[in-house]
Each structure stands twice: as structure tokens, then as C-alpha cells.
Amino acid sequence: MKKQHLKLVIISIFSIAIIAILYFSLFKGQIFAQPQIGATKPPIEMSTTIKALNDAYQNAANAVIESVVNIRVKFKQDRKGKTFNLFPFDEDDPFFKEWQEFFKRFHDEGESDVTAAGSGVFITSDGFIVTNNHVVENADEIRIMTFDRKEFKAKIIGTDKWTDLAVIKVDGEGFKPVHFANSDEIKVGEIVIAVGNPLGLSSTVTSGIISATGRGGLNLIRPEDGSRANLAIENFIQTDAPINPGNSGGGLFNLNGSLVGINTAIATRTGTYIGYGFAIPSNLVKRVASEIIKKGKFERAYLGVYIKTVDQTFAKALKMKEVKGAIINQIEKGSPAEKAGLQVEDVILEVDGKKIESSSDLQLEIAKRLPGDVVELTILRGKEQIKKKVKLETRDSSIAEKTDSEDFEEPKPGEPTNIEKLGLVVTPLDDKIKSEFNVNNGVFIKNVTKRSLIYDRGLSPGGVIVKVDDKEINSVKELKKLIDSKKPGDAVLFKIKYKDATSLVAVEIPE
């Protein structure tokens, strides 16, 4: 009996165990298991084409990120009475005004030094780096950091203000130089990536397309020494790849990982990216950087013409069938253009067979050449197309300085003129101003660049400059000529008449 009872107990236990196992097997998902988080597979399988494009982005980014560096620069805050501009702009132009406010975030006004950031790219394995001139110009100290966070002290090898390019150098070997694309072959719509260090965020990659090529006449390259802006070479690649402060000097690459251009500036109303960025074409970068490495400077080939892009009105007036080319509106005396027999109103259509669509195209083609090179120009003169061979020469920097005031035409009353060397915007007097200020001569101060040397010395807008160095000023042209005649370091004494007072301001001409 006991054995039967034991059997029953064993069978009961075994049955209960089986029932428990079956129960928990059936209902365990409801009692113990965690709910399924997310779907078990993506809603769309990536197509082969999309995966290939995604891989192309990744491969390009990973291939070039080692070639891009973070540049940190230090300036004395009182150096020339100026602080560093992260991108070239006119702070009196509303289009770029917010840059100055943005820049305040990068330094403490109470400190003696100002630090700022930019980017650069290795162009040789032994440490030569190309960046923007405005990133390193007048820097007291330059340091770079590579993608793997190694830091190096850098020195300036040479700069060129007309292209806004500079070459710096760090000691070392084994750096990864970029491969240069042929920027003449890039197409609108081509996919590109911008690599740099925007807003202090190192090794940042953004993407977009080539929006346009040959963008000129933007007046983005503005040398700080007051030189003529129209001597600058502006032939930008436009892109919608997001570019922000700190990207300046970084690389714009195609999906082969080849350098298309050096990012230089953005069009903005906010101080940050709103859709348009501009890069210096790689062919020009290579040409300028090579010359700087060899000679310490870029010897620019010089044609000696002042030009404008042929627009529809020009084409109509000249009875041209197509709207293209660069029209000559002035020829410098003794220049290669004059020696070759070029004339005002000639329209330059080609350089060595390369079509010229705009004035910036002509600037770029001449900039690619060396002094001493002979170029063949195809010119439309009247109704006839002719060929002219011109031997290019080296630009004499004194020409730019001399023509700045001599070629200047007096503006009309109320028409502003920027005296860039000092940071002044002035206009001729009209009868109303003469009456309000009780003066017979002078120029009206419309604006003064904040934090410029002359601003810090106490000169403010809303007055009339009546004398400079005890010489009466009767026109804007006189003022420009007098300022242009001064050398860096010369002291100038201004006498300013305000409505309620007369003020004297002495200032040194910056370098």
C-alpha cells in the first residue's frame, strides 16, 4: 500500500511539473518576457544604388579627414587697433554685419590677447598647410591640431592677400596631403563635402552640391591695408554644403576625396550658414601655394586692364549676338595690355582658347599664368574678332597704391566712400550739412568701424572732418589722396567739427 501511495505521489508530482512546464511555456510571454521594442526589420531595404552612395560619402569623409587641421591663432588685442575677422566682410554692410557680434563670443574683451579659430589642409607630407590669408594674417602665434588631437606650432611661409590664401608650416613627417582635383572640370550639381572645424567643433563633415562656379564681384576679399578691392581675384565655387565660422581655410572635396577648393566665406544675414558658401578653386590654390613654397610669395601675372562683365545691356549696346566676355573700361599706362595694343571697349572672349564668360573668368585665367608667359587673347573689337598676344609681367604693388587715389572720382553728396585703411565711411558735404555744422569745407563722417584704431582714439560718426595735418579738406578725393600718401606708422591729426563741439583726434596709419 505504501508503494502504491508513493507511486501516486511521484506520478502527481511529475504531472504537476509537466502541467507547470506547459503552462509557463504557453503563457510565459505574457507574464515574464519584455515586450518587443521596435520592429524586427527596417521598413525599407536600402537599394544597391543608395547603399553605394552612402558608402561613397563615408569613404570620402574617412579618406580626407586626416588631411584637415584645426588652426588656432592668437593676436594682440591692440595690434593695429583691430581684432580678427573670422570671415572677410564689411561690418558696415548689413549683409555681413552679424559676424562682428558673433566674433565677440570667441574672446574676453578684458584680456590682452584675442584667440580665433580656422581650418587648413595639408598639401605636402612634410607639413606644409594651405589656409586663408585672413585666418593667419597678423597672427602673433599659430598652433594647429590634427585629427588625432596632436598639436604643433606653425609658422607662416607666405601669404597672398589678393587670393586670400596663405601657406603655413609645421615640423614633422608623414602627414597626409590632399589630392588636388582639376577645378576647371567641376560641374554644377556635383556632390561635395566640406571638412573643417566650425564653431569650435573639430573634424566636422557636411555635404552639399556645387551650386555655381565662377562667382565674382562679391567683394568678399577685402585686404586690411586699404588696397583696391578690384585687384582681388574672385572666382569662387559656390556650394550649399553648410559652412560656418571655423570652416574658413578648410577643404571642399568631391566624392573621390580630391580637393575641389578652399572654403573661404559665406553669405549670411545671421552670422551663420543660411545656404551659400564660397570656395577658392583648387587650381588657383595649387598655383598660389606652389609659388609661395618656392619663393615665399605669389608673383602675380599682370595684364593691366580694368574690366567689367558683359551683361545684356553691354551686349545690346555693342551689338553682340551673345552675352559673354569681359569688356575693358580702362588700361593702365605702361602695362602689358597697352604694349600689346589692347583698347578700351575691347571685349575679351578667350584666353589661349579658353572661353571667358565674365570678368572673374579673365582674372582667374591670368592668375594661373606666370610673369613672362605669353597669352593669346581673342578679342571682339567692333564687329571684328581679332587675336592679340600679350606678354604678362609681374604686378608692381606700387601701381595699386598709386592708382587708388589718382583714379578716384569724387562721389556725389550723400554717396558713401569707404576709407578702408582707417575704417571710415565719409561723404561729400551738401548745403544742408554745411548749414547745420556752420562749415564751408570738409567731408561728413557717416560711419566709423567699431574697434578700429581711429574709433578707439575717439573719432565718432556725425561730424565733419575739416582739416587733416592742418590742411583744409575740400573733398573726399583730397582726403583719400592725403591718407594714401602716408606710410604705416605715420601720425595723422584730424580736426573734426561736431554740432556742439570741435575735436582733435591723432591716429597712426596701420601697417
Residues marked as catalytic = 134, 164, 248
Report CA dihedral (137, 141, 144, 145) to the nearest 10 degrees: -140
On whether the CB atoms of residues 96 and 168 are closer than 8 A, the answer is: no
Kindly tell me the burial class for residue 406, based on how many C-beta atoms sit within 10 Å of its own C-beta (0-12, 13-18, 19 or more): exposed
On whether the CB atoms of residues 70 and 57 are closer than 8 A, the answer is: no
Q: Cα angle vertex 284, ends 386, 138, to 5°?
A: 130
CA distances from 89 to 123, 223, 247, 407 (A): 27, 10, 15, 24
Kind plus residue range of the DSSP H or E element containing 207: strand 204-215
Residue 111's contacts (CB-CB under 8 Å, 6 or more residues apart) are: 77
Kind plus residue range of the DSSP H or E element containing 265: strand 258-267
DSSP state of 182: -
Beta strands (DSSP E) in 132-203 are 141-145, 151-160, 165-169, 179-180, 191-196
Give the integer Cα–Cα distance in Å for 249 and 154: 15
DSSP state of 46: P
HEC-encoded secondary structure of 239-263: ECCCCCCCCCCCEEEECCCEEEEEE
